[in-house]
């Protein structure tokens, strides 16, 4: 059968799709939850993931921020399911991607959302799920010890630079990335970890790991400001074979 060179997987909007705590701990290279004991953590974007609940279960104070935390529980559940199903169908319709996407990934995402939904109302009341959006958040300087951010920055850059945004004029342009990272740094005392810094098309279409070009630019920008960074290869659970990069910004 003739192989159809796909148009490449893209999304019109940022998906309200969350990962399990295990997937996110791997992505952020959190090997021992003990290393987070006594820390205040910011997770932005939080999405419908299992991370906040996991931290709570381990008595770690974590605030997750996402624009869609303004939804009520029914809509959050509905939109979350719709977005996972949309990504699932689109990726599997893509001849190249479907060979490399992990079969369990979307099932796990539905599980993660279930954990999130069960925790959502209590978490909102406890101030653990907060409405907000980058590049400007409402917290005071150095409100957190560690700031985590996964699967928004770099991943939703335009397709032409290795992200999955269909919109080449998305507001998530390079300046937005720089402003957002400086904002996350403003809020952290110790470090910022950004998970998922791979060039999407190198990993899914060429099956190799390449750093996102804007991650390289950001690192150069930060080094110019004498700020230390580290790149760590971490598991990418959506992909069966290739890992991703996690960028640590050490303050
Ligand atoms: C793919 S999810 C990632 C969620 C979570 N970090 C994870 O990896 O499981 C992307 C999230 O970014 C949120 N988002 C979209 N625009 C945003 C912005 N400007 N600032 C913060 N979050 C945003 C979306 O609502 C969505 O929940």
pLDDT score, position 6: 53
Instruction: Please report the atom of ligand 1 found closest to the CA of residue 19.
Output: 9
CA 193 to ligand 1 centroid distance, Å: 15
Strands (E), 21-71: 40-43, 61-65
What pLDDT does residue 103 have? 79
Q: How far is the CA of 2 from the centre of ligand 1 (A)?
A: 37
Give, for ligand 1, the residue of 111, 152, 167, 234 to mutate: max count of ligand atoms closer than 8 Å to Cβ.
Answer: 152
The pLDDT assigned to 106 comes to: 95
Minimum CA distance residue for ligand 1 atom 9: 18
What residues of the chain score a pLDDT lower than 50? 1-5
Q: Calculate how far, in angstroms, residue 1's C-alpha sits from the geometric centre of ligand 1.
A: 38
pLDDT of residue 7: 67
pLDDT computed for residue 1 by the predictor:
34
Q: How high is the pLDDT of residue 5?
A: 43
What CATH number belongs to 21-250? 3.40.50.150
Q: Which residue has the tokens 């978490």?
A: 123
pLDDT 10s digits, 114-134: 999 999 999 999 999 999 999
Instruction: Spell out where 36-116 has E strands.
Output: 40-43, 61-65
How many residues would you count in the chain?
251
Instruction: Name 13's Cβ contacts closer than 8 Å, sequence gap at least 6.
Output: none
């Amino acid at each position: 059968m003739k192989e159809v060179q796909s148009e490449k997987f893209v999304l019109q909007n940022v998906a309200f799709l969350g990962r399990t705590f295990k997937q996110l701990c791997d992505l952020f290279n959190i090997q021992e939850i003990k290393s987070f004991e006594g820390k205040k953590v910011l997770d932005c974007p939080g999405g419908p993931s299992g991370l906040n609940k996991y931290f709570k279960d381990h008595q770690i104070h974590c605030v997750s921020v996402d624009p869609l935390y303004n939804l009520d529980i029914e809509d959050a559940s509905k939109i979350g399911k719709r977005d996972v199903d949309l990504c699932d169908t689109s990726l599997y319709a893509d001849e190249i991607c479907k060979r490399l996407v992990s079969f369990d990934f979307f099932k796990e995402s539905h599980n993660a959302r279930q954990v999130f939904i069960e925790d959502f109302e209590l978490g909102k009341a406890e101030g653990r799920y907060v409405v907000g959006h980058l590049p400007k958040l409402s917290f005071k300087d150095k409100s957190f010890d560690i700031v985590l951010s996964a699967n928004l920055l770099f991943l939703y850059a335009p397709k032409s630079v290795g992200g999955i945004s269909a919109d080449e004029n998305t507001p998530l342009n390079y300046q937005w990335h720089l402003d957002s990272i400086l904002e996350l740094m403003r809020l952290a005392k110790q470090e910022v970890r950004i998970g998922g810094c791979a060039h999407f098309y190198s990993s899914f279409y060429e099956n190799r790991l390449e750093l996102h070009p804007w991650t390289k630019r950001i690192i150069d920008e930060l080094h110019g400001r004498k700020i230390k960074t580290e790149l760590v290869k971490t598991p990418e659970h959506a992909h069966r074979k290739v890992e991703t990069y996690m960028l640590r910004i050490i303050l």
